[in-house]
Structure 1
Amino acid sequence: MGNRTAVIVACALVGLTVSTPAFADSPAPSTYGRASYLLDESTGKAMISKRADKRVPIASLTKIMTAYVVLGQAKLTDKVRITAKDVRYAERGGATTADLRPGDRLTVKELLYGLMLPSGADAAHALARTYGPGVDGFTAKMNATAKAMGLSNTSYVNADGLPARGGDGYSTARDQARLAAAALRNPTFRSVTSTKSRTVASTADHRAYSWTNTNRMLDAPGSLGVKTGYTRAAGFNLAFAADRKGRRLVGVILGETDSSRRFDTARSLLKWAAKHPVEGNG
């Protein structure tokens, strides 16, 4: 068996499809979980594709679309008033929160940090309620945006990715990588997701908000962060990206069973991809 054939067989055994020519000297790292996808956004070429079109719940990766829709229609200086309903919604669902306090008035830009760094379901609810108007109206906008972008295997049921009574939303690794790549072209989104921590003043009292990014990829060279996610149904998810050697690499890992391994795998994929430039679209 030749080297190239051996690499292809090895990839098949782990359920991995490498959409670029096999690199016999350096096969792609193994990926785990339900699905994964790695896009060279600079060329449009898929470098890794493992069950990339399998529809699965994506948990808080949903908030990538929430931020994308908000950035498309709101001014960063707009003020949003936090209500008791925003806070109760997150607490009732057992979700991660930005610990927002009723009566506070925060700018859209500040709320985007609360949405993306600590993955605040309260921030998601406040933004969706304001810019739907209403959560249902906002969710409809999310789905309309997905359709307009050609994300044909994506459906949202809320703005945060929490399980819903009528059924969870779903997407695919390929769709989420394409969405993340589009969102990262917005400098504000890129700045937010690549921030490790942020302190924001409160208008309701003298206590400031201090938010830390849940994404442990930010120590990787050129990392742009993006988003983590977890629910029992979705498993551990990760959307990640980095600028390496003049190329933007965007990846998604869905349905991992080990929280730490998703970050280790993403680092390995970025390191491998940076050594293997590809050409053309795909």
Structure 2
Amino acid sequence: MKKKITMKAGCAFLCVTMLSGCSSFKKLDNPYDFAQRTALYEGTALSDRAESFAHNLCVVTADTPSTDQAVTAEAAAVFDLSDKTVIFGKNPFEKLYPASITKTMTALLAIKYGNLSDEVTVPEEAVITESGATLCGIKPGDKLTMEQLLYGLMLPSGNDAGAAIAVHMDGSIEKFADRMNEEARKLGATGTHFVNPHGLNDENHYTTAYDLYLIFNEAMKYPDFRKVIGTSSYDAVYATASGDTLTKTWKQSNWYMTGERDMPEGLTALGGKTGTTKAAGSCLIMGSSGSSGMEYISVVLKAPDRTGLYDNMSNILNKIVD
């Protein structure tokens, strides 16, 4: 069964702290850390609490539109990165399975803390036999760069690439998951817990639409991330375990990027990450830009099927007035 817990406390906290100003925020070592923000808020005189504890972030408020019968997914949201508003938010704090959207965090960690020029020998942990698991087709002993693995991770959604990145960076899936959870806490993604780098289903592996915005928002700060998610097709040339040279072509799975679905008028897809499992349903997070240059992050979780996923995404993207 789906793990479904509504983060009422988190929502209330965000609503309370949607205020203006930022001088108190400068006292924090990490302004994305909710624990620090909470402690600062509780230790601040009432007269001084009219300062932002969500500086430079989109925050869900009581006025955020949240109801639309055309939005049939379990959770959906659109975030305006330019003016830091939430255009629409249905169940933004509900804990749900993210499927392969998990790989956004894996990519972020690889870019932020790894070396993309590293040569990686694919480990045994990359052998994934679970039914329905998406793979980029690498084998133990193959040698690829971290950059190549990023494309294998984000375009064909290779669970094997995710495992290879995790083991290369931290020695094991478990230790990399610890890094993922540490980064989530730094970003304020308090409704998130990861147990693997790829998103194969586990009852202890969950996140929220709002937390995915926080993670994707951080990832979009890195040009390498934008380059990878904005690529429709990538040819990887690498050495196999036997020493032969192999070429694989990995293609994007986002229909807005492949032309299988048109973006709403005036918007351009910057790229994103799809995800699908039986428990998670069909999921998508993506960045887009408007004709004026403004940028947005939109997320849909647990849509009924692939067609319904893009119907839901188009519905919420149409709420953008650029």
Higher mean Cα deviation, 71-80 or 120-129?
Answer: 71-80
AA at the equivalent of 2:144:
L
Alpha-carbon distance between aligned partners in 1 of 2:254 and 2:178, rounded to the nearest angstrom: 28
Q: Structure 2: state its 5+ residue gaps.
A: 1-60
Alpha-carbon distance, 1:76 to partner: 1.2
Q: What corresponds to 2:314 in structure 1?
A: 267
**Secondary structure at 1:233 match in 2:** coil
Alpha-carbon distance, 1:265 to partner: 2.6
Q: What corresponds to 1:190 in structure 2?
A: 226
Report how many residues are paired. Answer: 251
Q: Structure 1: state its 5+ residue gaps.
A: 1-16, 278-282
**Secondary structure at 1:85 match in 2:** helix
Higher mean Cα deviation, 50-59 or 220-229?
Answer: 220-229
Change (3 A) 1:271 1:92: closer
Identity of aligned residues (%): 31
Q: Deviations over 1:5-33 (max 9, x none)?
A: xxxxxxxxxxxx994589xxxx9783121
Alpha-carbon distance between aligned partners in 2 of 1:197 and 1:50, rounded to the nearest angstrom: 33
1:79–1:108 CA contact under 8 A, matched in 2: yes
The question of 1:101 aligning with 2:139 is answered yes
User: After superposition, where does 1:18-57 map in structure 2 within 5 Å?
Assistant: 19-20=63-64, 30-57=70-97
Higher mean Cα deviation, 252-261 or 90-99?
Answer: 90-99
2:99–2:275 CA contact under 8 A, matched in 1: yes
AA at the equivalent of 2:220:
L
The question of 1:222 aligning with 2:294 is answered no
Q: What corresponds to 2:166 in structure 1?
A: 128
Alpha-carbon distance, 1:49 to partner: 0.6
Alpha-carbon distance, 1:92 to partner: 3.7
**Secondary structure at 2:316 match in 1:** helix
Change (3 A) 1:241 1:29: farther
User: After superposition, where does 1:168-183 map in structure 2 within 5 Å?
Assistant: 168-183=204-219
Alpha-carbon distance between aligned partners in 2 of 1:162 and 1:21, rounded to the nearest angstrom: 32
Alpha-carbon distance, 1:225 to partner: 1.7
**Secondary structure at 2:76 match in 1:** strand
Q: Which has the higher contact order (CA 8 A, sep 6+)?
A: 1
2:65–2:87 CA contact under 8 A, matched in 1: no
Alpha-carbon distance, 1:180 to partner: 1.0
2:65–2:88 CA contact under 8 A, matched in 1: no
Change (3 A) 1:202 1:258: same
Alpha-carbon distance, 1:271 to partner: 3.5
Structure-1-length-normalised TM-score: 0.83
Change (3 A) 1:255 1:57: same
Alpha-carbon distance between aligned partners in 2 of 1:127 and 1:251, rounded to the nearest angstrom: 26
AA at the equivalent of 2:74:
R
Change (3 A) 1:19 1:93: farther
Alpha-carbon distance between aligned partners in 1 of 2:89 and 2:188, rounded to the nearest angstrom: 18
Alpha-carbon distance between aligned partners in 2 of 1:83 and 1:158, rounded to the nearest angstrom: 15
Alpha-carbon distance, 1:234 to partner: 0.7
**Secondary structure at 1:202 match in 2:** strand
1:236 is matched with which residue: 277, 282, 299? 282
AA at the equivalent of 1:39:
F
Alpha-carbon distance between aligned partners in 2 of 1:78 and 1:270, rounded to the nearest angstrom: 38
1:201 is matched with which residue: 209, 234, 237? 237
Q: What corresponds to 1:67 in structure 2?
A: 107
CA RMSD of aligned residues (A): 2.1
Alpha-carbon distance between aligned partners in 1 of 2:199 and 2:100, rounded to the nearest angstrom: 5
AA at the equivalent of 2:199:
G
Alpha-carbon distance between aligned partners in 2 of 1:49 and 1:176, rounded to the nearest angstrom: 13
